Amino acid sequence: MMSQEKIIAQTEAYVRETLINGGAGHDWWHVYRVWKNALHIARTEPVDLFVVELAALLHDIADHKFHGGDETIGPKTARVWLEKLNVEESVIAHVTKIIASLSFKGAKVATPMRTIEGMVVQDADRLDAIGAIGIARAFAYGGSKGRLLHDPNVPVELHESFETYKNSPAPTINHFYEKLLLLKDLMNTETAKKIAIQRHMYMENFLKQFYAEWEGQDCQP
């Protein structure tokens, strides 16, 4: 039986190799940041760290967006990998369950987490969608889809289903109202909540400046 340390190291290498050229926000460095965030949040939570680390490392190993919308591809790919390393079934079941329940699916779609390990990883992933990094990721994603930065004539929509959320062609600024500004209040842990408040303020300042520049209001004496 391989040690937990070795399993983590091998998983890190596998994910790094698989996602190193991943575009539109799901590159290795996103996973790296989520992993670090998760370790930080986990310090103040009673968790099985092995499960937290494996779920953080494998959470974006295969994205439904690049597999014809197949939402089971992520957990399936993670399972195949963990079985190859002979990880025990209870850990595999827990990790794949976390991966399956992680994603944001729309402003009005609930995405509950049942275990503290899942809550930590969900918070860690959501922290990487807000703040300076979150802003950068949103515009990188919008750019990859050829979307406008902003269009004052396109109203914000709070999506009721994952279908309408993921197929929305709205400009990237709308994504702030449809997801990014909502995340602060969706954090599961106190530690993540504190970090989220800072990152949230940073986004609000960004938006204020963005709208001022849009109308050239900052050009006046």
Interacting residue ranges for ligand ADP, rule: CB under 6 A? 25, 60, 103-104, 125, 129, 134, 137-138, 141-142, 168, 172, 175, 179
Residue whose CB is less far from ligand ADP, 35 or 104: 104
Helix residue ranges per DSSP H, 128-189: 131-144, 162-166, 172-178
Query: How many C-beta atoms surround the C-beta of residue 215 within 10 A?
Result: 10
Q: Which does 142 bind (CB under 5 to 8 A by kind): ligand ADP, Ni ion, none?
A: ligand ADP
| 117 forms part of the interface with Ni ion (CB under 5 A) | no
Using CB under 5 A as the criterion, what x/- string covers residues 120-159 for binding Ni ion? -----x----------------------------------
CA 67, 73, 2: angle at the middle one, nearest 5? 135
Residue whose CB is less far from ligand ADP, 54 or 129: 129
Q: Angle, to 10 degrees, between the axis of helix 116-127 and the axis of helix 190-214?
A: 20
- Look at residues 96, 121, 104 and name the one whose alpha carbon lies nearest to residue 33: 121
Span near Ni ion by CB under 5 A; candidates 53-61, 90-98, 169-177, 181-189: 53-61
| Minimum separation from the CB atom of position 174 to ligand ADP (A) | 7
d(CA 116, CA 118): 5
- Look at residues 173, 166, 148 and name the one whose alpha carbon lies nearest to residue 66: 166
| 60 forms part of the interface with Ni ion (CB under 5 A) | yes
| 63 forms part of the interface with Ni ion (CB under 5 A) | no
Contact residues for Ni ion, defined by CB under 5 A: 60, 125
